[in-house]
């Protein structure tokens, strides 16, 4: 390996959304830092198979109201 071109590889703590944690090696931050996940395999629909519809700001309601008259008859 060439000298002085690679980031430092060190141990960090990873905290999942349910509070469980584990140690891993990464180039993230500095040694001993904590990476808190917002989305992880225990909660994301891609891994759980459950689809949740999150309506932020009433976007789904606006869509339904705008297109309520359109449909296949």
Mean pLDDT of 41-50: 73
Q: Is the pLDDT of residue 27 over 70?
A: yes
pTM: 0.55
Higher pLDDT, 20 or 52: 20
* Residue whose C-alpha is closest to residue 20's, from 3, 37, 8: 37
At 31, the pLDDT band (50, 70, 90 cuts) reads very high
d(CA 26, CA 34): 11
Higher pLDDT, 59 or 56: 59
4 φψ region: left (φ > 0), alpha (ψ -120 to 50), beta (else): left
**Structure token pair of residue 56:** 């932020």
The pLDDT score that the predictor gives to residue 24 is 95
């Amino acid at each position: 390996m060439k000298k002085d071109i690679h980031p430092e590889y060190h141990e960090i703590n990873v905290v999942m959304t349910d509070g469980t944690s584990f140690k891993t090696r990464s180039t993230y931050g500095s040694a001993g830092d904590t990476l808190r996940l917002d989305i992880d395999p225990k909660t994301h629909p891609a891994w759980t198979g459950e689809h949740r519809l999150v309506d932020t700001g009433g976007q789904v309601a606006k869509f339904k109201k705008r297109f309520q008259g359109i449909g296949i008859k």
